[in-house]
Chains A and B, each alone.
Chain A
Amino acid sequence: MPMKYAYYPGCSLHSTGSEYDVSFRAVCQKAGIDIEEVKGWVCCGTSPAHCSSKLLSLALPYENLCLAEKMGAADVVAPCAACFARLRTAIYEANEDPQLAKQISEALERPLPKSMNVLSPLQIFRDKEGLADAVTRELPGLRVVCYYGCLLTRPAKVMQFDECEYPMAMDELLRSMGITTLNWSYKTDCCGGALAMTRTDVVLKLTHDILEEAKAVGANAIAVACPLCHVNLDTRQEEVEQEYCVKYGLPIFYFTQLMALALGVPSDKLGLQKHFVGTDELLSAVCEG
């Protein structure tokens, strides 16, 4: 029987990051990975919750884990790095502190699931055999830097995802599909996600640093695994260009969009038209087959 994953999209994948949802589903379909969306899922609370109430920030993820358990799933896949971090943190904290676990259970008025595992799609695709053999489209001209952001790897004891300062999971996955990825030093530097709507000046500076370094190492695209990173790098790229009098025009892809392209999914099925920085020019220059 094929392994089935409960899919927790989170709010962003239903709105600002819908391209991530579409392309994640497309890759799962091509790879024969069975996913089912968690029924009745609610927001994980993200940073406003953990900055305001510890108990709330743990109860909301657990509400979703309870729903996933009800579907009979033991593995939950959360593509949004922020959701991924909040779900994993909730499990970690509840395991560390039984008293806290009791309060979470009281807040939800139900027992907490015993053994739930939360995964990033990067982990699922890495463990999927035969994915590289399914590649039908070569993208030889792409020179991608993989931007992991903060929340996939930090803090290491909670996330237990790759090497926390210099992860390679996304690089290895894309390389296995014939896409060139470059070494660079801004893989896990913060883009200021939580301050996007309030202290945009900070976000523009941090995003500028990231785009500048990507350009400096010769990248012609950035791959991300977080809808908040995508908003800052793609949606606000023009603003950064104006603020710093530079021109990048660097397309920002979700890594699942690049995988789907390599697996032969038509480019008009991946939400690329929703990006602010156009991808057509680059893709028509690098695509073969």
Chain B
Amino acid sequence: MESVQTITSGSKLAEAVMTESGQNVNVCFQCGKCAAGCPISYAMDYKPAQLIHAIRLGMDDLVFKSTTMWLCASCETCTTRCPQELDVAKVMDVVKITAVRQGIKPTISQVAAFYRAALANIKKCGRMYEMGMIVGLKMRTFEFFKDAKLGMKMFKKGKLKLLPSFTGAMRMWKIFNRVKKIENRNLNT
């Protein structure tokens, strides 16, 4: 695929996406298949194809302020159907990661809070401890009563563990820290 890597648009954001994910958004010819197949595009302010185009044009502000990547459920329909083999879902991930790194406030704050709560939970517990994660999420979103009834019923049905297992918790903590170190090193080189 070396030939397509030579297609550029002079957009710094597009270059950053390329470096982070190996995905060249400039190969996109706006067929709109990703937008048509996306099950969540109805709820997005910009359709996936539009977001890709905005990245090509270097419209950083529009991209980072859009809800598109935060609503993406990573179902990979876009990635599977792109005739140019652009991994659109991967681009969504990179845009989110870049936005967070630049300190830009996520447009769908609950989703970002969920990621943080889930990762903090597995870093501490080794395996996902759902009850702890739910508490962590509520502390971040202040939606204390959301799904309370549902959670109660799940607990009564024995679908939620009372206590975490802590299997591999120490290893997990070390892996998270080493990853952080490597990522910081990569950013500084």
> A residues touching B (Cβ–Cβ < 8 Å)?
11-12, 14-16, 18, 40-43, 45-56, 59-60, 63, 97, 103, 106-109, 150-151, 154-156, 164-165, 189-190, 192-195, 197-202, 205-206, 235-236, 239, 273-274, 276
Say yes or no: is B148 at the interface (Cβ < 8 Å to chain A). Answer: no
Q: Which B residues between 87 and 116 are near A, CB-CB below 8 angstroms? A: 87, 93, 96-97, 100, 108, 110-111, 113-116
Docked-complex contact A150 and B178, CB < 8 angstroms: no
* A109 with B159: CB separation less than 8 A: no
Which residues of A are found within 8 Å of B175, using beta-carbon distances? Answer: 56, 59-60, 63, 107-108
Measured in the bound complex, the distance between the Cα atoms of B150 and A151 in whole Å is: 25
| Contact (Cβ within 8 A) B179 A154 | no
Query: Measured between C-beta atoms, what is the minimum distance from B115 to chain A in Å?
Result: 4
A-side contacts of B167, CB under 8 Å: 40-42
List of 7 A-B pairs having minimum Cβ-Cβ separation, nearest first? A190-B75, A11-B128, A48-B118, A154-B76, A150-B75, A42-B168, A198-B110
Query: Of A47, A48, A206, A274, which one neighbours B158 at CB under 8 angstroms?
Result: A274
Decide if B127 touches A16 in the complex (CB within 8 Å). no
Task: Fill in one digit per residue for B157-189: 1 if any A CB lies within 8 Å of its CB, else 0.
Answer: 111110001011001101110110011001000
Q: State whether A18 and B158 are in contact (beta carbons under 8 Å apart), knowing that A41-B167, A195-B73, A235-B150 are contacts in the complex.
A: yes
| Chain A residues within an 8 Å CB radius of B146 | 200
B39:A190 contact, CB within 8 angstroms: yes
Contact of B79 with A by CB under 8 A = yes
B71 touching A195 by the CB < 8 A rule? Answer: yes
- CB contacts (< 8 Å) of A154 on chain B: these are 75-77, 79-80
A55 touching B182 in the complex, CB below 8 Å, given contacts A46-B118, A194-B74, A197-B137: yes
Residues of B within 8 A of A53 (CB): 97, 179, 183
B87 partner residues in chain A, CB cutoff 8 A: 155
Nearest chain B CB to A201's CB is how many angstroms away?
8
A103 to B182, CA, bound (A): 7
The docked-state distance in angstroms from the alpha carbon of A46 to that of B119 is 9
Interface-central residue, B80, B96, B126, by most chain A CB under 10 Å: B80
Which residues of A lie under 8 Å from residue B77 when comparing CB positions? Answer: 150, 154, 190
Interface string of B27-47 (1 = CB under 8 A from A): 000000000000110110000
- What are some 23 contacts across the A-B interface (CB < 8 A)? A11-B130, A15-B130, A16-B130, A40-B168, A42-B172, A45-B122, A49-B119, A50-B93, A52-B96, A53-B183, A56-B176, A60-B122, A107-B175, A107-B182, A108-B175, A109-B178, A150-B73, A190-B75, A190-B77, A193-B73, A197-B137, A202-B73, A235-B159
